[in-house]
Amino acid sequence: MADRIRTVRSSGGNYSTLEGCLDGEAGDLTATSERLWVQCGAFEDSTPVNQSSGWTTSSEYYVYITADDNHAGVWSASVYRLIVTTNYAAFLTSGIPHLRTEGLQIANARSSTSSNYAQIYGNTDHWHHRGLFVGYNPSTGAAYAHYSTGQTFLTTATILISVGGAGSSSYCCYPNPASGYAHTFRNVTMYGGRASMRAFNTGAGDIYWYNVHASNFGEDTVNESDGTLTSGSDYNLTEQATAPTNFGGNSVTSATAAFEDETWTTYPWEMDLRRTLSDDGVDVGVSQSSYFTDDVVGVPWSVWDIGANETASGSTDSEVYDAASVRVEHAYQIAYPASEVSSSGWTASSGTRYEAIDDPLGTDDGEYISTPDT
């Protein structure tokens, strides 16, 4: 498979905004047998992404967006960041089926009484890995870090932050899967909001949590007004005393959530939501290595925790975090089990087909392994 590589830079790149790049490159990737790889440099991009049509892709010829530098699990002004203050959604990609992102920082910081979304999309086969997504609304409106609608979505090793105004109905995520599809969260830290998630699966879609760390300021872990987690979810953690429906028999309630720095700030949201060794989620998760092998910091998992970052017993936090700057050899990989694949979308045959390509961040000697069976 050939890569069509395009760079987004404040100067000297192929494009000066991510939206400009996607507008300029939109078309039929299957006709040219290419994967579009968009590489984003270290600058602040304030142009909303709004891709609602114009793409023909497949599970082999898809759109792949990465940041050149590693945010290491904490919002960084030294890494590409998409921050929108004037638009309903910062990153709307409903017109791009088959999309992968890695290492992106996305935020909606509009001061408005209406809903602010960092991400909103409604297509099939979207996978977001190692992201930092912030929904920020200092007024009384809602702040959503992640709003997904439609078909198959996977979010892994990601931190979702909801900074809503007083009395708002803010949530870290608001998944709304269509019938026969699944929205799945694996090793995700959800912080803030009235509830960590508002489940909306009245369309008979499935919502799965695995190793999810829920830390919110409201009365619920999951707002179940319009749906629940799906049976099969497990190894999750909440500070709340009452477990949501289908939380999982190995999940933890009334937990101690321990982060490096929870001090609330306005932009640039410098709170450090990497978990520490005092967190109840350390070493009690279940391996997700058939899907991915690195955490939000960018280091390989040792013993699987609940939440987005690895904090291994027997080591100090600084030892784990400093490892992000060391060249390591490991593999990223994503696969979809038959239980999470729609009969009208992908199908699982005798096995999972992986495709090896170059390391997406250029920081190690490993391979990125992707592409589910079709």
CA-closest candidate to residue 275, choices 219, 335, 320, 240: 320
pLDDT at residue 332 above 60?
Answer: no
Query: Exposed e or buried b for every residue in 77-87, given b needs 16+ CB within 10 A?
Result: eebbbbbbbeb
Backbone angles phi, psi at 136, to 5 degrees: -125, 125
User: Is 222:208 a contact under the CB 8 Å cutoff?
Assistant: no
**Which residue is listed with tokens 């477990």?**
243
Mean pLDDT within 203-209: 89
Q: What is the mean pLDDT of residues 184-202?
A: 90
pLDDT confidence of 281, banded at 50, 70, 90? very high
Please tell me the pTM assigned to this model: 0.85
Confidence label for 124 from pLDDT (cuts 50, 70 and 90): confident
Q: How confident is the model at residue 151 (pLDDT cuts 50, 70, 90)?
A: confident
Least confident of 3-17, 56-70, 274-288, 307-321: 307-321
pLDDT at residue 361 in the model: 35
Domains along the chain with CATH numbers: 2-370 (2.160.20)
Tell how strand 63-67 and strand 99-102 pair up.
Answer: parallel
According to DSSP, the β-strands at 182-192 and 153-163 are parallel
Q: Tell me whether the omega of the peptide bond preceding residue 48 falls within 30 degrees of 0, making it cis.
A: no
pLDDT grade for 302, boundaries at 50, 70 and 90: confident
Find the length of the chain.
Answer: 374
**CA distance to 98, 197, 200, per residue, from 226 (Å):** 27, 11, 5
Name the more confident of 163 and 38: 38
pLDDT value of residue 81 = 95
Pairing of strands 171-177, 368-370: unpaired
- Mean pLDDT for 257-280 is 82
Lowest mean pLDDT among 85-99, 150-164, 330-344: 330-344
Q: Mean pLDDT for the chain? A: 81
**Predicted pLDDT of residue 373:** 30
